[in-house]
Amino acid sequence: MSEIVLAIDIGTSSARAIAFDSAGRAVSGMREQVHYEPHTDDEGASEFDADELLDHVAQCVDGTLKRLEGAGHHIIAVGICTFWHSMVGVDSSGHAVTPLYTWADTRSESVVPALRERLGPDYHSRTGCAVHPSYFPARLAWLARSQRDLSRSATRWVSPGEYLFLRFFGAAGCSISMAAGTGLFNQNRCDWDDQTLTALHLRQDHLSPLTDIDSPATGLSAKWAVRWPALADVPWVPAIGDGASSNLGSGCDNDHRIAINLGTSGAIRVLWKASRVDIPPDLWCYRLDRKRFVMGGAFSDGGSVYAWMRETLRLPDSDEDLEKQLAGRQPFAHGITFLPFLSGERSIGWRPDATATVHGLRLSTEPLDILQAAMEGVALRFALVGESLRRVFPRADEIRASGGALGKSEAWARIICDAIGQPVHLSAEAEASSRGAALVALAAAGFPVDDAHTPAGTERVLNPDAERHARYQKALAAQQDLYNRLAAREVP
């Protein structure tokens, strides 16, 4: 009977439960996925019903366990990764009393200027987070001001993974990884940040006690033990952030490698071991665990830009035809500069009020020109953050890329490669974040998870074209000039 681990991967658009073997390889056919969408509205809401999300996760586990029946596998541990920066308020019994607010909820934008003054100039250097609606401080301040009764009904604020553990085990700690992405955590002290809590009138008992991936939970509560006897007594590792998990799963677990992920949103990150970190002002910094930091930039608009363009411009061609047309076009020949902030800006400027901008339209402009400019605009944001990362990590000479948007568009992958000006290794790991959760579970079960035992696969390597890179350098300068001019304008 072979030993396997179960990885539960909870994203903002779907949840997955996938079985992995002891070498970190997905077991063929042993997976279940459930798609869903957060509730959104014109005011900037992005939220889930926490119990509905729990049901979706449970359906995934049900489906995978059913597939595993009679297949000769023995589950030895469970690993979990979830979307970062998201929270739900619970009562003293651990039940949700508020919606689960995701990182994409922007309703707290109005409190950001005043909160920035309260948190002080060294807030980012302590927490690795900007004062921005993506993080807990702005959301908590907004709730306290605009929904006071709802805010007061919560005795504790928890992340999605913690909520699962409260329901599955009756108790939960907050992993170092999830705490590090809240904006309430001091990265170098590796503890809740007292200055931030004081500014928000928040006590430590409003948050979960900190734990780490070396302290798994065992012993499912009766309801779940009956439902999942195969998981009742195996170790469940506390949830880690999906970004850190994706780095780990794609083999980007040292300061020689940069990970790029392009799905609905986008991110570029370095994961490495260190005892402490100096956090540059233009990058965020979180943790995987007590020993490993993750630093980089993230973008709310990634593959969503392509989807929006396809629908809005009513491009008649199939995706395959568009790929062929895009592959033969010269960089920036259309003369259009695009700022990809359809959902506001996160990295590098952290302007939640930023909007997408198209500059350089002419009578001769065609829809395909605008689509190309939008895809290039996203690529240039990767290039911009990549420059900042290389200043911090001068040894980072390998880039590994993954994500659904890249898997569907080699033309976009080549644009990113040429914009950055370095070879890009396209990952063969279709589910990098799930694989990262599996590797953490394998480590908890005592299996070695280094490159020698669990190497991450590369599908192929793209090499940059020097002439195209030079053109994209000019395009990046034009994008930054447009950004700076718009940012300098006074808003009435």
337-391 pLDDT tens trace: 999 999 889 999 999 889 999 999 999 999 999 999 999 999 999 999 999 999 9
How many angstroms separate the CA atoms of 20 and 68, rounded? 11
Q: What is the mean pLDDT of residues 24-32?
A: 95
First to last CA, the chain: 68
CATH superfamily of 252-428+457-492: ATPase, nucleotide binding domain (3.30.420.40)
CA distances from 276 to 72, 79, 188, 285, 385 (A): 44, 26, 5, 11, 21
Token pair recorded at residue 225: 């033990």
Q: What is the mean pLDDT of residues 243-267?
A: 94
Region(s) of the chain under CATH 3.30.420.40:
2-242, 252-428+457-492
Phi, psi of 330 (to 5 degrees): -80, 145
CA dihedral 28, 76, 13, 221 (to 10 degrees): 140
Strand partners, 272: 293
Q: Within 10 Å of residue 344's Cβ, how many Cβ atoms?
A: 21
Token pair recorded at residue 36: 């869903």
User: What local confidence, expressed as pLDDT, does residue 491 receive?
Assistant: 47
Place of tokens 């199939």: 318
CA distances from 86 to 40, 119, 139, 156 (A): 15, 20, 10, 14
In this predicted structure, the answer to whether residue 490 has a pLDDT above a threshold of 80 is no
User: What local confidence, expressed as pLDDT, does residue 352 receive?
Assistant: 87
In this predicted structure, the answer to whether residue 293 has a pLDDT above a threshold of 50 is yes
Length of the chain: 492
Share of the chain above pLDDT 90, in %: 86
| pLDDT category of residue 492 using cuts at 50, 70 and 90 | very low
Q: Would you say 344 and 352 are in contact if contact means Cβ atoms under 8 Å apart?
A: yes
**Helices within 273-366 (DSSP H only):** 303-312, 319-327
Strand pairing class (174-175; 210-211): parallel
User: What local confidence, expressed as pLDDT, does residue 458 receive?
Assistant: 80
In this predicted structure, the answer to whether residue 267 has a pLDDT above a threshold of 90 is yes
How many angstroms separate the CA atoms of 186 and 434, rounded? 27
CA distances from 458 to 186, 368, 427, 437 (A): 35, 31, 4, 19
CA distances from 93 to 172, 380, 416 (A): 12, 47, 48
How many angstroms separate the CA atoms of 27 and 5, rounded? 10
Computed over every residue of the chain, the mean pLDDT equals 94
User: What local confidence, expressed as pLDDT, does residue 337 receive?
Assistant: 97
Share of the chain above pLDDT 70, in %: 99
Strand pairing class (266-273; 292-299): antiparallel
DSSP type of residue 108 = G
User: What local confidence, expressed as pLDDT, does residue 328 receive?
Assistant: 85
Q: What is the mean pLDDT of residues 156-174?
A: 96
How many angstroms separate the CA atoms of 142 and 133, rounded? 9
Spell out the residues 6+ positions from residue 23 whose beta carbon is closer than 8 angstroms to its own.
453, 454
Token pair recorded at residue 295: 């630093």
| pLDDT category of residue 176 using cuts at 50, 70 and 90 | very high
User: What local confidence, expressed as pLDDT, does residue 264 receive?
Assistant: 86
3-state DSSP call for residue 29?
Answer: strand
- Rg over CA atoms, the chain: 22
User: What local confidence, expressed as pLDDT, does residue 171 receive?
Assistant: 93
User: What local confidence, expressed as pLDDT, does residue 353 receive?
Assistant: 87
Token pair recorded at residue 340: 């990809």
| pLDDT category of residue 403 using cuts at 50, 70 and 90 | confident
The top-level CATH class assigned to 2-242 is alpha beta
